Structure 1
């Protein structure tokens, strides 16, 4: 086994999703004691059919006046997470310098929702709103906004590989830190709900009109959600760390996964190798678990080949919705909460487990048995990412 990485420590973490944005909201949702804001919407689809979506419930903060050129729902959502870790970022700037901190953000929607509103105004009145500019929906807009807000001048860019976008930012962070180009990296994912994405998935007949049911025999599609999740990473030791990351690109089909999960398995194995861990070191797998027949089947096969039925598995998509480009970072933040606060593993409410699902699902309250959590995100085109978070032994 080749150990090619060294732990990168999580200095701070922020999350704002359908579960909420504070520990007293997030933790009861993860433990199943409280419902998240997964709501039925019968207006957002062009077909007027209903689908369940994971909406942010809290009002979003306004941008500072000098940054109003960045004003979009996506950036206001990002700001709601940025404010949670602002003190930690300022401490890193004081310690390392603004030019030694990178910003890498994964997104798939950026400010498209604002573009939709602007184009409706154009169709209705003949003019775009005065404050609209196309740059708000460019994929790099949120990373540029974050850097501008904190006054950071290190490397700054966005990654957009569909649903693995904010997983790939962790690999980019590894490389920047290992090369000593920077001393800290602010990584994460931000995606807000927009009609373009929802109607696109609806055209693929991939949306569920009910709360999604990962790994269930009656699973019938995904729920889309919105989220912002950020982490500040550096080599400064803390109690939780990114231990390893793995990727693959099987390019089997533009929207369908490789049926046997070969690319998914390769990403997980590369993450284990990168972390210098064996399968028995993993105490929980947070599955991509979209509740589509093809994804759940292939992912369960891949997990079973690597881990058998020994490791507990669940998907947290019923709590947040599939947050698209923000999914990896959202589920990385969930892993951080479990590790930092010793939370019970999120349970899978699966009353009719599918016959082809051999993995062991978390169906009762249990805590993490093992040093690490593996989190999967798989995207269109076979762009697969697996991340491992955990504790570092002295």
Structure 2
């Protein structure tokens, strides 16, 4: 699964983590200022971001773009010299491009969040004063949001297009690897299905889960500091009372609670999904043999095999029933949670309408990131079953 697409996967992913930590350390220990060495103004790091889409070509961002792609070039050159894997142009440069686009999308969300407070405070001021205000300011604020949203949507669609091609290249690499070892792998039960269907489902699952996971991590990195600052406006939580960094702890606690509950109620599902693929494969194999051999796919044999399919599906239906009840209830409660935690601050008059909108938006983003496992649990279950099948399939090559 990974060896076919990444050069020496174990050491590759360890080197990714190491290189990431090195770059983070350099960036925050003075690297942000090094742009002055190549001609950036000496005070560029102090420039305030604009609230519109133009912030993305501020000098701060331009220096980060240069840093990011230079670090990727160094990393790619190292692995080209070290291994020169046939698919590493896609696995390194393609991964870097996807991560960059996801980061850009997250920064768009940060920009929209910064827009919330002044815009809704302006609305509140016009309503409270009773004399209104300049309507052109409302139009200008709306156009600012529209420009950011248009750019964000365009980037997101283009990234999805690229991700689809990236994932198909990964599937191609897996297919080539398995076919190259087909003389050995063909002895495994359901070999043809694993090469064709399981690689397809593996690629599809990765397309969904991989990008979502990257987005969740980058969202946390971008929004947690903002949530820390906004927590100053919400000094107390319902029931708990006063708590430093209240919104951060509330989002973490609620997300961990949901993740733990769904993991407990869904613990049997990965194994059942895995068994489901096995019994379906056994039935399909017998029917295929029955097309060419009269003595295969006899009614009794097929009935027994289909009985195994039926039994496993009915078990799946039962376990998914209570899993869905718990997950849907959690999602419904989640809608109210972000508002309820703000009740003490609202009642005390500590936040304005703009802050309410801004805090709700940030809080939602952070909670969604912490709830990655909650929102993706069904896809993760399917992914685990596919991984187990392909891992079992590849074990014969060792």
TM-score, normalisation: structure 1: 0.29
Higher radius of gyration, 1 or 2: 2
Considering fraction of residues, name the structure with more strand: 1
